[in-house]
C-alpha cells in the first residue's frame, strides 16, 4: 500500500489546502478526550461530524 504524501485524506477532503498535501498532521487534543490529526481542525467547525460523533455511531 502506498498512501499519498501529507495527510492521507487530502485527496478526498473538501477542506484540504496545500499544507495538507505536503505535511502529515500531528495527532492533537482539541478538547479533553477529543483528538484529531488535521491541520485545519482549529479553524473549521464541522457540525455534521460533531452530531455524528455525539450519536455514538
Per-block mean pLDDT, blocks of 10 residues, the chain (57 long) = 85 94 94 90 73 51
pTM beyond 0.75:
no
Q: What's the total number of domains in the chain?
A: 1
Per-residue pLDDT, 3: 72
Domain encompassing residue 40:
1-57
DSSP string, 1-57: --PPSS-TTTTT-TT--HHHHHSPPPPEEEETTEEE--TTTTT---HHHHHHHHTT-
Per-residue pLDDT, 49: 57
Amino acid at each position: 500500500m502506498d498512501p499519498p504524501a501529507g495527510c492521507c485524506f487530502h485527496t478526498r477532503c473538501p477542506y484540504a489546502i496545500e499544507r495538507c498535501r505536503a505535511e502529515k498532521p500531528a495527532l492533537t487534543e482539541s478538547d479533553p478526550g477529543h483528538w484529531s490529526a488535521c491541520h485545519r481542525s482549529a479553524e473549521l467547525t464541522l457540525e455534521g461530524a460533531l452530531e455524528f460523533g455525539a450519536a455514538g455511531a
